[in-house]
Amino acid sequence: MNMPTNIGPQFQEATKYVRGRPVPQAPGWVAPPPTYKEYEEYLDTVALPEPQTDDGPGLWDTIATRRSQRRFTGEPLSLRQLSQLLWAMQGVTGEIHDMELRAAPSAGALYPNETYAVVQTVQDLAEGIYHYDVRGHSLGMIAEGNFAEDLAQACLGQTWMQGAGVVFVWGAVVARCAWKYQNRAYRYLYLDAGHLGAHVQLAATALGLGACNVAAFFDDEVADLVGIDGTSEVAVYVTAVGRVGP
């Protein structure tokens, strides 16, 4: 397939690892950027219920029944369900050499993707846009209000998203990965986001909910919506989760 600018094939070729070609290394004098994004102040902070870490549906049954769902009832999710979804994608699940490990894998354990939850209908939680605080397993509100229509329009007019209880947006902090992997980091940003989307799909299925991953969106509009600049932190993936309708 011929593309007008051939940017995709050029990028693929330029970032290949080829035997005999030196593999770019992180400069020894470059310190890695912070692993966690911090806000000076949230509009509100919401502690999440402790996630369930044992029992639950079997993995093989969950995989077999997982389907992308675009028909939602608009009924609210529970705060416990939202907590479980966030833990299943980004929750801290262990530690090694003073490094906190999370539910989904990440290249070099660098975890470049930040999670934003556009809350549309969740019990005991005000509508708005929240940032997920991984270490505290809590949500920090960064914008209050109903953004369901704005987000759906930013996702190329996919109005079915307005029936979801929550829509997750992932913003990749480029430097968090690029300091080590340089240009090849852009591959890993998207691979990592894919891992997160897969975990959400499986977690939603296990909770009796539906989910659909979305990559078709106006990049700058989605970035603006969750308050990121679209350059140092870029919107890479979106997933809507809700109660499944007929």
pLDDT at 21: 84
Please tell me the distance from the alpha carbon of residue 45 to that of residue 185, in angstroms, as a whole number. Answer: 32
Q: Is residue 231 part of a domain?
A: yes
What does the pLDDT read at residue 174? 96
Give the range of the structural domain holding residue 59, as residue numbers without chain letter.
42-242
Number of domains present in the structure of the chain = 1
pTM of this prediction? Answer: 0.94
Among 100, 102, 65, 130, CA closest to 196: 102
Contact present, 146 and 120 (Cβ < 8 Å): yes
Does the CA dihedral 101-195-179-131 come out positive or negative?
negative
Residue 25 lies in a domain: no
Provide the CATH number for the domain around residue 124.
3.40.109.10
Please, are residues 239 and 212 in contact by the beta-carbon 8 Å criterion?
Answer: yes
Residue 67 lies in a domain: yes
Domain annotation covers residue 15: no
DSSP state string for 15-62: T---TTSPPP---TTPPPPPSS---S--SEEEEPPPPP-S--S-HHHH
**What pLDDT score does 2 carry?**
56
Predicted confidence at residue 4, as pLDDT, reads 60
As averages over each run of 10 residues, the pLDDT of the chain (246 residues) reads: 74 91 76 92 96 90 96 97 98 91 95 98 98 97 98 98 98 95 94 98 97 98 98 98 93
Question: Is position 34 within any domain?
Answer: no
Question: DSSP label at 151?
Answer: H
Residues 6+ apart with CB under 8 A from 110: 32, 35, 176, 177, 180, 188
Length of the chain in terms of residues written = 246
